[in-house]
Each structure stands twice: as structure tokens, then as C-alpha cells.
Amino acid sequence: GQTRMMGFNNIELISDRPIVDNLKEIAEVKRNYPKHAVIASLMVESKREAWHGMVKQTEDTGADGIELNFGCPHGMSERGMGSAVGQVPDYTCQIVEWVKEVATIPVIVKLTPNVTDITYIARAAVKGGADALSLINTINSIVGVDLSTFEPQPSVAGKSSHGGYCGPAVKPIALHLVSAVAADPSVKIPISGIGGIASWRDAAEFIALGAGSLQVCTAVMHYGFRIVEDLIDGLSNWMDERGHRTLADIRGRALSRVAKWEDLDLNYHLLAHIDQDKCIKCELCWTACEDGAHQAIRRLPRNNGGPVVEIIDEACVGCNLCAAVCPVQDCITMRKVPNDYAPVTWKEYAAGKGKLAPRSEQFHTATWSPSAKH
């Protein structure tokens, strides 16, 4: 059967191509597509004169902007480039300052996710004079081991190394880091979102969390350049349907809803509901709940073609695990449980403020039916 590609790992070094070839091709692309913006991505040894020379050569190609790649996690970092720079705020700031001394076109700094707190690096880039930020680069990874030879993969003469992981699997990490940088009041420059974008929905989510532009690589490698048209058409159609005239209408719209855990409402409770007409009787939900959650799903006898599982209302805590493992879309949905208690956060409750709604009261209310739609 078909398998879904979740991510790529690479340990190659495309930057080992002769610089003259890259410069020639950048100039050729700009010459052939003068109405399109061409951004050149650079990795240079950490010397002021080296950066000055590379920036000037790049500008001579007609490039519209340059991206300082401070994120590559393999190969280049061992040479004092890539993430070796992007993991140290002082290095990041210093090199951006060097570049800005000679650059006459916009300077974007590409950030690495392989840090404890990416906002420190973002602030350093801003301090150095960056015009924009792009994130994320690939994530340090080893994707597997050949158990017949015990060689990590991909193997190079029997050995391997950590590489850069990209693709749909890194999207949640990328969304988190983009939102963290976009929400930082110290960062007031444009953000280009990168990481696992493969559909118009992915694109919309990055924009909603603060990205002003997007970059796509893995999906193009997988599906070809045509996917760019699909992304644009899908996003445009969705915006028309929702009445959003420009990207500015949705940019950052989700940021205000990203909160610390301690600020979430403890009195907001959900209950799982199974649409028996859609259920295919695979019992994956029962297995997940029985072995990994709260034993809140009951197995029923398989007879007469009726239901084979049902929710035990008084045991369900609304963890969403059953819905996550269900292979049928919208077969299991989470429904809000109404109660008369005011919202209370953990921060408030820990300070002796507010009252938690007893679960027993919520699940034994004569005026509420678990099968009703709320």
C-alpha cells in the first residue's frame, strides 16, 4: 500500500558547490524572471571581510535580498557556520552587524530550532539590524538504524551522522516557534514561516500565527513546483469564502489565543461523543482509552449490527485521545459540558481565587443529555 511521507533527513552539503556557479545561476534566474523577488541564502565563515565580500558579490547578481543561514545543523556548523552561529546570540548579532555594514538590500536572518529559547536569538538578530527573520531551519535528527548492520541511516561507508530533519512532521514545532517569535514585543520585523508546509491550510496556519511570507522546500521536492499553485489557489479560495480581502486580515489573528497553560480555564470541560452511523467498529478508540487514558469507553457485544463501543460519561475527562486515533473524520467529536461555574485559571485557583466545578455535578445533571448537540 501507499505510505505517507512525514519527513526527510539530509546530511548533504549543497553549499559545497563552487560559489561561481551559485552566483551565475542567481543572476540567470533574476534575469529570466525580473518581476519576481530573488532571495539568496548565504553561509560564510565567521570573518568580517569574508561576509563583506560575499554580500557584495551577491548584490552584483541583482538579488533582491539576502538570507543569512544561521540554522544548518550539520556539516556547516562544524566549520563555524550555520547553527554554530545561530545558537549563540552574540555571534548572531555580530555577524548581522558585519553584513549590514555593506548590504544595500534587505537582510533576512534564518533561525535554528536547535536552541532552548529561540526568542533570544531572534532578539540578537534584531539588535544586529536584521530587516526580517525566517524560521525554522531543519532539526537535528537520526532517522533510524539498520538492525542487520547496526549502521545509522543514511549510511556512508558504514557510518552516519546527525542530519537536518524537515517535512510535515516538523510543522507543529515550526508553528510553536513562529508564534513565540511573533508574539515577542522585542521583535517588530517581518517573519517568513518555514517548516512542513504542504497545503493551503498549513500556509494559513503559519500566517495566522504571525508569518508574513512562507517558504516551501520539502513539499516541492515531494510533489514538484506545481504544489505552489495549489497552495496559492487554496489559500485564495479560503480567503474569499471567509471574506478576508488581504493577508493582513489574517496575519497574527491566532496569536492572542496562544496562552500559558496556567491561564487556561480549568472549568472548561469536554465529553467525547461517538456518531454510531459513522463508526466502522474498529475499536481503536477503546484500545487507546483502555490502555492509555481513563478507561472511559465500554465495549458492547457484537450482535445485530449495533454499536460496539460507547462512552462512559462519568469517566470521560475529554482528553481527545479517542478522537485523535479514530480513522473516520468527525466520527468522534468533543462536546462542551455546560456548568454554572465561572471560569477559573490554575493561577487563580493556586492563589485561592475561584472555585472548581465538581466533575460529579457536571456529569449528573438532569437538564443535560450527552447525546444532545451543544
Which positions are annotated as active-site residues? Answer: 72
Percentages helix, strand, coil for the chain, rounded to the nearest 5? 40, 15, 45
C-alpha cell at 108: 533576512
Q: Residue 336: phi, psi to the nearest 5?
A: -70, 135
CA 361 vs CA 91, 242, 311, 340, 348: distances in Å: 57, 39, 18, 10, 21
Residue 163: which of 189, 201, 137, 191 has the closest Cα? 137
Residues 38, 44, 49: CA angle, nearest 5 degrees:
105
Q: Residue 40: phi, psi to the nearest 5?
A: -95, 125
The C-alpha atoms of residue 110 and residue 132 are separated, in whole angstroms, by: 9
Neighbouring CB atoms inside 10 A of 331's CB total: 19
C-alpha cell at 257: 489565543
The C-alpha atoms of residue 103 and residue 65 are separated, in whole angstroms, by: 9
C-alpha cell at 350: 493556586
Q: Residue 79: phi, psi to the nearest 5?
A: -100, 10
Q: Cell 443529555 identifies what position?
A: 369
Q: Residue 10 pairs with which residues in a beta bridge?
A: 164
The answer to whether the beta carbons of residues 252 and 209 sit under 8 Å apart is: yes
CA 285 vs CA 90, 318, 328: distances in Å: 50, 13, 11
The answer to whether the beta carbons of residues 196 and 170 sit under 8 Å apart is: yes
